[in-house]
Amino acid sequence: MKGQTKKLVPPDGGWGWMACLGNSLINISLRSLDPSFGLLFGDMLKELNVTTVGGTLIIGILESVVNFSGMFVGPAIKKFGCRKIGIIGACLSCTGLILTSQANSIAYIICTYSVLGGIGIGFAMSAGFVSLHSYFIQKRTQAVGLSMAGTTLGMMCMPQIVHLLLIHYNFRGAVLIIGGLALHSVLGSCLLQPVSWHLVPDPNNKLKSETLKSNGRVSEGEKLLKKDDNGKSNGHRRKSTSSDMSSVDLSTNSVSNGNNNKKLQDHEEDSEKNEPSDEQTAWQSAKAKIIAFFDLDLLTNITYLNTVIGVGLFSLAESNFKMITPFFLASIGMVPGEIAFCLSLTAFADVVTRLTMPMIFGKLKLANRKVFWVSSFLVGISRSTMAQQVAGKILMANLIFNGFLRGITLTNLNLSVTESCPPSKVPSALGMLMVFKGLFVAGLGPVLGHIRDWTGSYQICIHSMTASIMLCTTSWGIEFAVKEIRKRMDSSSQREVGARSKMV
């Protein structure tokens, strides 16, 4: 019977764990090479007489293309689904990497590794995260942490693999083999089945707001969606609760309704005088369709806007730090074998963090944005401290600590964005985040490379990356402070109103 129909909800597990495995395969196949870029391409770039600016240009274009593909990821996922987009992206990325094995110029590397590979990475990774996000509710943080642990596991093993491949097969053979290994991302994309195939009945058989909750926390997106829902159902609620209102409430509502009717009449009179032309109507209709298609109304959400700008600044520092770390370690006297060990050590701390900390954060019910805020601040401090070190035990300890903080930060990066928007807009929110990241990386990434070449110092370049992170933490800190002040003022006003009502 209709009254007995149960609401279907995501399984919060089940095939979701297979989607988690698929997302992990995508991550480990397509992004584990990032910290080893300097190790793999170092000799090739020297042969081509490419400076630090050239290296940052390759990485900058790669990250920009990955992120600018977000303009099309949201609409593409809505139309074709996560699995198809993931498979297309994985094939493009692997093709770009395999073609890079024949590189003979920086322009060739940019076309294959940065542009073709970047489009594929952007599509595949976005599809994987959106699919994972749709399968989980309460266990979302743990699932994201486990899937991202695949990336770090690859980052831990890849430096050693690259080092051995370069010894036995030189640059071209090493890149060709790594491109073959990356084909595992196609298999991972095949596991991203539509969540509609695996929905389960709501055990409590109630239309409650579980789909808006993540680990028991109320996000900004949930507040927005609740606000919209309340707005849509206000008329119905007034009718259903009118019998319970007091006479004072009824009179107040009557006056309010009278005023509203008067305003409505005035508005109708004004609109009759200023009726839009057909061209204006067509333009407004087209504009509304574009806004709805790309969910551009998200840009009116101050919290979301501040979030994506902050994440973009952090991503700028993160992408350049991964590229420059092998060069920095070489500048303080380390040989390739020692550099590979340091990269693996950092990745080991990262993967341990991603496997353990999400469960702890889930138990503590901490907000993703605040965890990202604190950990990103500590990441900046840790990296600037590392820049002042020389080879030794202190540097090793700093690298381990940095990997620990990096794991916490990146686990909460995308979740910070989804926490600041309604669940229905997650694909578009992630797409716009990628565009913002692309703007920052493309616009400011080469500047960091120029700083290194102008000053001749890797230390100053790393400190510049820390400054970018501090801009993020400062803007978020101001937002949190303003919200806290407003919250206290509202609670104080409510207490005053309550005290006055008691006196009356």
Tell me 69's DSSP state.
T
- Average pLDDT, stretch 185-200? 90
- Average pLDDT, stretch 429-433? 80
Q: Is residue 291 part of a domain?
A: no
Give 449's Cβ-side CA count (13 Å radius). 22
Q: What angle do CA 90, 95, 96 make, to 5 degrees?
A: 100
Q: Is residue 492 part of a domain?
A: no
Q: Is residue 409 part of a domain?
A: yes
Please state at what angle helix 368-387 crosses helix 458-503, rounded to 10 degrees. Answer: 150
Exposure string of 330-345, with b = 16+ CB inside 10 Å and e = fewer, is: beeebebeebbbbbbb
Q: Is the pLDDT of residue 92 over 90?
A: yes
Nearest CA to 322 among 213, 240, 403? 403
Nearest CA to 40 among 348, 448, 323, 349? 323
CA distance 324 to 252: 66
Q: Is the pLDDT of residue 140 over 90?
A: no
- The residue among 493 and 89 whose pLDDT is bigger is 89
pLDDT for res 51: 66
Full-model pTM: 0.60
Q: Is residue 138 part of a domain?
A: yes
CA distance 185 to 28: 8
Q: Is residue 74 part of a domain?
A: yes
pLDDT tens sequence across 220-270: 444 544 444 444 444 444 434 434 433 334 343 444 444 444 444 554 455
Which residues have CB under 8 Å from 158's CB, separation 6+? 32, 33, 35, 36
Q: Is residue 257 part of a domain?
A: no
Q: Is residue 52 part of a domain?
A: yes
Q: How many domains does the chain have?
A: 1
Tell me what the pLDDT averaged over the chain comes to: 78
Highest mean pLDDT among 33-42, 171-180, 324-333: 171-180
- Average pLDDT, stretch 65-71? 78
Q: Is residue 176 part of a domain?
A: yes
Whether 267 contacts 183, CB under 8 Å: no
pLDDT for res 298: 80
CA distance 503 to 263: 35
- Average pLDDT, stretch 498-502? 73
Q: Is the pLDDT of residue 339 over 50?
A: yes
Which domain CATH number covers 85? Answer: 1.20.1250.20
Domain that residue 371 falls in:
10-201+299-485
Instruction: Work out whether the CA dihedral 355, 356, 357, 361 comes out positive or negative.
Output: positive
Q: Is the pLDDT of residue 194 over 60?
A: yes
pLDDT tens sequence across 146-184: 887 777 777 778 888 888 998 888 888 999 999 999 999
pLDDT for res 474: 93
**What's the pLDDT band for 93 if we cut at 50, 70, 90?**
very high
Where are the alpha helices (H) located in 101-139, listed in sequence order?
106-109, 117-135
CA distance 100 to 117: 9
